[in-house]
Amino acid sequence: MEKVINESQQGQSLVLEQDKKNSRKLYIESYGCQMNFSDSEIVASILANEGFNTTNNIEDADLVLVNTCSIRDKAEQTVRKRLEHYNSVKKINPGMKVGVLGCMAERLKSQFLEEEKIVDLVVGPDAYKDLPNLISEVDEGRDAVNVILSKDETYGDVAPVRLNSNGVTAFVSITRGCDNMCTFCVVPFTRGRERSRDPQSIIEEVNDLWERGYKEVTLLGQNVDSYLWYGGGLKKDFEKASDLQKATAVNFANLLDMCAIAQPKMRFRFSTSNPQDMTLDVIEIMAKHANICNYIHLPVQSGSNRILKAMNRQHTREEYFDLIDNIKKIIPDCAISQDMIAGFPTETEEDHKDTLSLMEYVKYDFGFMFAYSERPGTLAARKLEDDIEEPIKKRRLQEIIQLQQKHSLYRTQQHLGKIEEVLIEKESKKSSLHWSGRNSQNTVVVFPKENYKPGDFVNVKIIDCTSATLIGEAVGYSNNN
């Protein structure tokens, strides 16, 4: 299963092709959501033009960059531990410089330089184009910080270098920032206000990926359904746009349609959808195009109307059910996944039961479940005491996870006996004799390799399953090849 936060990827160092002209060595490590991994590809691309080749050996590196996540306290603690490790490496490699990128850089700003003596460079998510100047500062012996958030930076003009890629699937950023102001969430503070990327540059990136053999693209943003291009600028300023800009604006349904038409054999996915912004026209465009996958990641966070309100989620439980009903009516085999937070301030047993009953209604295909972690500066941290005791949070989280496991198995069992199109991505982790890929619903499918290869679309008969994986055997190429 593809995860919004893929635990197996956390901390991966990213390595790309070497350019012989380049003499300095960059080691870059990424944590957190897929946006961060995608941003590291932009950073590596910018620094490749500044004389840096990447290395996966930290002891060789002239520059170590860590792209950080602030979403929960645990994510920040992981980065602090990595900084301790870099400190020990510095004893062997004293010339090495250390930079912190991403959400933690934005949240802590120059405070980082005081708290972590090892850090030379602090760069927020909108300032990566300033890296060449900032690195010159560091080269001259000064610490350097740029955490300015931008109204229009989308990196649409930077061709990301695909790092550690399987050559089959890729992520393409379409929006940056978030305007939702969910009271638990640090993202609006660390990634700024929401802005969308020029659709033309998105289509060009998609076409280029197709030319280079990629077969699946996931359109990426904190809230993709809110995508709106009207010539550039913040989403919140759309109302000030000219009549012509408004009349020619491109929304998310239009963008999906454009992508699906531009590359009819490329598969498209998208993540993340916020229920309040997902409209029927998006679901109808999904139904219209066979190459848009039948899968929606639709975080709900809680099943209680009172908690949804306290989280500022802008929709009720009933409105969420209406959306689920519409999705299932228009695309009956659409898979749906969730994010859930257990133990938000003031959550009662009744509220928790509402979450469990919402899950019973939807029976999600899979989910990503977390205990509430208070984040400094958020509205919840300022207004609400983190009053649910740790053992209660943990028990509620465990109940949510257990119920999800039951539903995941129920959902994978629905695939038994069916023949489904699978895009082969790589060798199965558990067996060198099997391929691993995903069906349209985003469930991992493994099957014997035979003569197929990564990048092939194969029809697979599903013969067995666990709660996370489908096991099958190939019956031939699909007609998408």
Binding site for ligand SAM (CB under 6 A): 4, 33, 71-72, 178, 180, 182, 184-185, 187, 222-223, 272, 274, 299, 301, 339, 341, 370, 372-373, 375
Angstrom distance (rounded) from CA 80 to CA 86: 10
In this structure, the number of other CB atoms found within 10 A of the CB of residue 240 comes to 10
Task: Name which of 145 and 335 has its Cβ closer to ligand SAM.
Answer: 335
Smallest CA-to-CA distance from 75 within 101, 100, 104 is with: 104
CB 476 within 8 A of CB 459: yes
Task: Name which of 33 and 144 has its Cβ closer to ligand SAM.
Answer: 33
Least distance to ligand SAM from the beta carbon of 369, Å?
A: 8
Q: Coil, strand or helix: which one is 92?
A: helix
Least distance to ligand SAM from the beta carbon of 428, Å?
A: 28
Task: Name which of 312 and 478 has its Cβ closer to ligand SAM.
Answer: 312
Task: Name which of 72 and 415 has its Cβ closer to ligand SAM.
Answer: 72
Least distance to ligand SAM from the beta carbon of 194, Å?
A: 10
How do strand 250-251 and strand 228-229 relate by DSSP bridges? Answer: antiparallel
Angstrom distance (rounded) from CA 366 to CA 393: 20
Least distance to ligand SAM from the beta carbon of 396, Å?
A: 13
Task: Name which of 33 and 470 has its Cβ closer to ligand SAM.
Answer: 33
How do strand 469-477 and strand 457-465 relate by DSSP bridges? Answer: antiparallel
Least distance to ligand SAM from the beta carbon of 272, Å?
A: 4
Angstrom distance (rounded) from CA 307 to CA 303: 8
Q: 180 is written with which tokens?
A: 């939702």
The residues near 273 (Cβ < 8 Å, ≥ 6 apart) are: 223, 224, 225, 296, 297, 298, 299
Chain CA centroid to CA 10, Å = 12
Task: Name which of 3 and 434 has its Cβ closer to ligand SAM.
Answer: 3
Least distance to ligand SAM from the beta carbon of 457, Å?
A: 30
Segments in 182-228 forming alpha helices (H): 187-191, 199-211
Q: 210 is written with which tokens?
A: 């197709």
Task: Name which of 229 and 370 has its Cβ closer to ligand SAM.
Answer: 370
Q: 61 is written with which tokens?
A: 């590196």
Smallest CA-to-CA distance from 222 within 252, 191, 248 is with: 191
Angstrom distance (rounded) from CA 465 to CA 227: 36
Least distance to ligand SAM from the beta carbon of 334, Å?
A: 18
In this structure, the number of other CB atoms found within 10 A of the CB of residue 358 comes to 20
Task: Name which of 277 and 425 has its Cβ closer to ligand SAM.
Answer: 277
Task: Name which of 31 and 435 has its Cβ closer to ligand SAM.
Answer: 31
Least distance to ligand SAM from the beta carbon of 344, Å?
A: 8
What are the phi and psi torsion angles at 338 (to 5°)? -130, 160
Least distance to ligand SAM from the beta carbon of 298, Å?
A: 8
Least distance to ligand SAM from the beta carbon of 168, Å?
A: 25
Task: Name which of 302 and 408 has its Cβ closer to ligand SAM.
Answer: 302
Task: Name which of 4 and 287 has its Cβ closer to ligand SAM.
Answer: 4
Q: What is the DSSP string of 106-170?
A: HHHTTHHHHH-TT--EEE-TT-GGGHHHHHHHHHTT--EEE----SS---TTS-PPPPS--SSEE
Least distance to ligand SAM from the beta carbon of 44, Å?
A: 22
